[in-house]
Amino acid sequence: MQHHTSREELQFGSGQSEEKQKWITIQMTTFKNWLNHQLQHSNVRISDLETDLSDGVLLIQIVETLQQRICTGKIYRSNPTEIQKLMNVQMALDALREDKVKFVNIALSALLDYCQPGLCAEWRNINPRNGRQNCQRALTLAEKYLGIPPIISAEHLSSHDLDELSCITYLSYFVRKGGPGYQATLENVQKALSDVRISDFERSWSDGYLLCRLVEAVGGQIEGFDGMVFDEPKNWVGNVAKALDAALDVGVASLVGADEIADVDVEHLGVMALCTALLSVQQEDKLGKKITTTCLQNQQLNLDLAFAEGSQVRVDDLDVIIVGPDEQTLDNRLLDLRKSRTIKGAVLSFIPKFVGDYKVHILCEKQELPTSPILLHVLSATSRSAQSPPPPTTGLARPSNTTNHISSFERTPYSRLQDNNLDPQFSQLPDSILKTQRKEETALKNFPASSSSAMTESYEDAHTGHVTFSGLNEPCSVGSIVEVVINAQSDRTTSGDVGVKAISPTGISYTCDVVRRANSYTATFTPMEVGEWRIGIFYENEHIRGSPFSCHVYDPNLVNIYGLDVGLVGQELKFTVDTSRAGRGPIQVTVMRHGRQIPCDIYEDGKGSGRFQVVFTPDGAGQYKIHISFNNNEIKGSPFILDIADASSVSVYGDNLRMAAVDRLATFMIHALGAESKDVTVIITGPSNKKKHARIIQIDDTTFRVEWKPIEAGEHLIDVRLFDQSVYDSPFVCNVGDPELVTVRRIPKSILAQDLNTDHTFEIDASAAGSGNLEIVINGGRVPCRVREIASRHFVAQFTPTQPIQHVIEMKFNGEHVRGSPWNVPVKDSAASRQPGGEQYSELVGLGLHRAPVGELASFEILSEFLRPENVNVKLFDDSGHPIDVKIREHRGKIICEYTTRKVGEHRLEVYINGRPIDSGPLFVSATGIGDENLAMNQS
């Protein structure tokens, strides 16, 4: 049965298509505007999503701008190939994947609480690693209390493979007109503008009045608001434009333009999003005063974060975005930013390079902490404050990068991170303190006292009960400020009664300044040597109980990495982490690929040696990131970037890969992603078992040319190796022959006219030439040549001339001409010539009779002692029938015909002598190159 589509159906289908295309255009325009707003402080602007993002370079820049950090890895910028474009795009996708952009499970719970306050009030405490359970609970609450149908499963919603369209489809139920998100936002706007009635997010906003009022309600200033006219539609676009300009001043940009908002048929989503952003400005103002601090130029600043007990926050979940004095986001690598794990939380450290005011934004799992940003004022190095006690000067120079020390009692108080607006993983932290300086924390855990040659006094005294100290339980890094806090057990003690000395591993003693603060004493020193320091604490010049105490000092900059350079898929990779000069402490190694952790094993070469072997096996080609930490501090250079290649994906090609000639340069090509010339080796083994290395020349990022010259005939083995592993199909067999040892006999010197259309033969002896391919071409392949073997490597070639023209016999062995090639065999009549006035004999010779390179001059000759140019007429036509000019001239008794073909194809050549066509009729000239007749001879 056939189905006939009616006109009405066709029209309806066309209308649907037009509506869909209009929707796509709106979505693309909105997304493009959003991207350009995010990039407004850069020099990048997107005009076409499809073309501008196609090579991945701009996409990487967008990801870097949005994440406020630099993507690690090689970016192919200059005329990238299709594969290189894919690698660029993959780098951007990897960065997004590692950044956990699809953090749906917490966001959905927060959305429920926004739509109905109290429905999911504990969303800040949700463990993000329980994604499926979180999503299932949120889906159930949304269906029961908000009437949102669960059109997507919890498993799919929590999956890292969740596609945006499925997620948007579900979320659309929240933000559609009348939906719970729509109503919640409407109520929040109504609270902000309690004196007016707000019924929708469409027509009510077209005149600009409500938008101006809302901008002013959140702190914006509308210039000339009292004189604005809202009753005339012609003024609406201008009114909305003024409101949008004022919104920009408070940090809010609209995704839709003034003309779209002023349209009475405006879509509610753009207006609703703008209102939500403006209301968030109002919320930010309620968070209170930000933390401010000061440090010196080129001085390391450490921010100490304390996590809640049982918190599962990782150091990798923390991000730091630093905005410099010029309001530009700074590259964290240039600031030497480091993130280190501590017992209570983490330390974020960096070194500001320039004088001025900075903003330090701290984010946990992409959500900014409420006390962020920290306002940092960097002073010139010449403005060093006297409030920080200087490090000891006896026998030791001041370190170039010392930790900024700000007393919590004398300067900015610590800011506790435990309000209801805190990030989910940082909420309910009774002891959580964001410190504006890093002091190597002194926990009161007793270290067993050990003897020291520098301190041999008796520790028994009558006053040990007045002051106590429990020791240093964390190792300290070289150059940091170590703070020793001593508890005062009696009000009778004074700062003069307590003394502290620090003795380095080499026996140098430093006297520390002691400051009394409430019921404790504080002393600081800066260790500049790796090893065990001894801290002597004295009361009335006598050691307190347990003194001296141990303090282990390490230097992560002295950790060395060996052997981490190349690797192949499926091949065990081993490298060494040497901490023998860096001090005591554990190492941590994490291998990541595409956001997924790769298992690795760590072995110590010998107990206490400080040398560790790390072993893992790459399971796929691409870029690997290897994070290495020492004492929970990431070492210099970490993460290390390692490109892993797949030897089975390397391609090797070229004529000389399979055949070559003695004493002739042979070349072939290698295509290998992520490799350099030093990573590729080619070893060639000859028939005499002699080995030689070929020359490798890198052509571009992925292509290499291999050159070598054979010196003996026979079968050669070519072993192509990548990272010292043979590639697929290697070794290749290359047959090397010697064209000079091919002997050709009985080539006819000429062909008589009466012998046309009869067989002619000649012999070929290649027995001494080695194995390879023999090519015989007669008149560009237009005259067939038949070959038969009469003995081992001994052949007879046979051809049948049919035209009275010169026959050109070309013979190549493994692509090289044999000795004597090419041979020119003319066709002659039995009589030497004809008398004038009678029938004249003419002979046509030259390559131009049967082939011609396109765009280059081709020619042939007409031999006759009686002819002149005016007796000859030549016509040449291409395969479309268009004529081609032929120039005819006389030179030294010969008639020379010259022409130039313009395109590839078969051309028809007509030659007329004294008005008559030549006996053979029209000839056909090929402009496609040389045809060939191949004869493969395999070595026995």
pLDDT tens-digit profile of 621-648? 777 889 998 888 888 888 888 877 776 6
Q: Which residues does residue 899 pair with via DSSP β-bridges, in sequence order?
A: 858
Give 106-113's long-range contacts (Cβ < 8 A, gap of 24+). Answer: 106/134, 106/365, 106/424, 108/134, 108/135, 108/138, 108/139, 108/142, 108/157, 109/134, 109/137, 109/138, 111/171, 111/174, 111/181, 112/138, 112/141, 112/142, 112/145, 112/146
What is the reported pLDDT for 935?
Answer: 38
Higher-scoring residue by pLDDT: 539, 896: 896
**Residue the block writes with tokens 């076409």:** 48
Ordered DSSP codes for 415-476: EE--STTS-GGGSS-TT-EEBSS--B-----PPPP--BTTB------S-TTTEE-----S-E
Give the 3-state secondary structure of residue 243: helix
**Residue type (1 letter), 4:** H
Q: Give tens-digit pLDDT for 287-339.
A: 444 567 777 787 777 777 776 655 667 777 788 889 888 888 888 888 888 88
CB 196 within 8 A of CB 217: no
- Per-residue pLDDT for 38 more than 70? no
218's CB contacts (< 8 A; 6+ apart) are 192, 250, 278, 279, 281, 282, 285
User: Are the beta carbons of 527 and 553 closer than 8 angstroms?
Assistant: yes
Q: DSSP letters of 45-89?
A: --S-HHHHTTTSHHHHHHHHHHHTSPPPS----SS--HHHHHHHH
* Residue 551 pLDDT greater than 50, yes or no: yes
The answer on pLDDT for 865 being more than 80 is: no
Percent of the chain with pLDDT over 90: 9
How much is the pLDDT for 464? 42
| Beta-ladder partners of 510 | 502
d(CA 716, CA 767): 18
User: For residue 413, what pLDDT is reported?
Assistant: 26
Residue 668 is predicted with a pLDDT of 92
Asked whether residue 895 carries a pLDDT value surpassing 80, the answer given is yes
Own/partner pairs, 444-450, CB within 8 angstroms, 24+ separation: 444/469, 444/470, 444/471, 444/473, 444/487, 445/470, 445/471, 445/473, 446/470, 446/471, 446/546, 447/471, 447/472, 447/473, 447/549, 447/550, 449/546, 449/547, 449/548, 449/549, 449/550, 450/550
Higher pLDDT, 123 or 472: 123
Q: What is the DSSP letter of 481?
A: P
Mean pLDDT of 258-268: 86
In the predicted model, what is the mean pLDDT of residues 743-761? 88
* Beta pairing partners, 432: none
> How many whole angstroms from its chain centre is CA 626?
15
Mean per-residue pLDDT of the chain:
75
Side-chain half-sphere CA neighbours of 180 within 13 A = 21
> What local confidence, expressed as pLDDT, does residue 685 receive?
93
3-state SS string for 282-303: HHHHCCCCCCEEEEECCCCEEE
Strand partners, 379: 296
Structural contact between residues 374 and 292, judged by C-beta atoms closer than 8 angstroms: yes
Contact, 351 vs 297, CB < 8 A? no
Alpha carbons 511 and 524: distance in angstroms, whole number: 10
Token pair 């890093």 in the structure block, residue: 438
Q: What is the mean pLDDT of residues 864-885?
A: 87
Sheet strands side by side (includes 743-745): 743-745, 760-765, 794-799, 785-791
Strand-pairing partners, residue 621, are: none
- For 92-196, strand residue ranges (E) read none
First-residue to last-residue Cα distance in the chain: 67
How far is the C-alpha of 6 from the C-alpha of 162, rounded, in Å? 40
Q: What is the pLDDT of residue 174?
A: 86
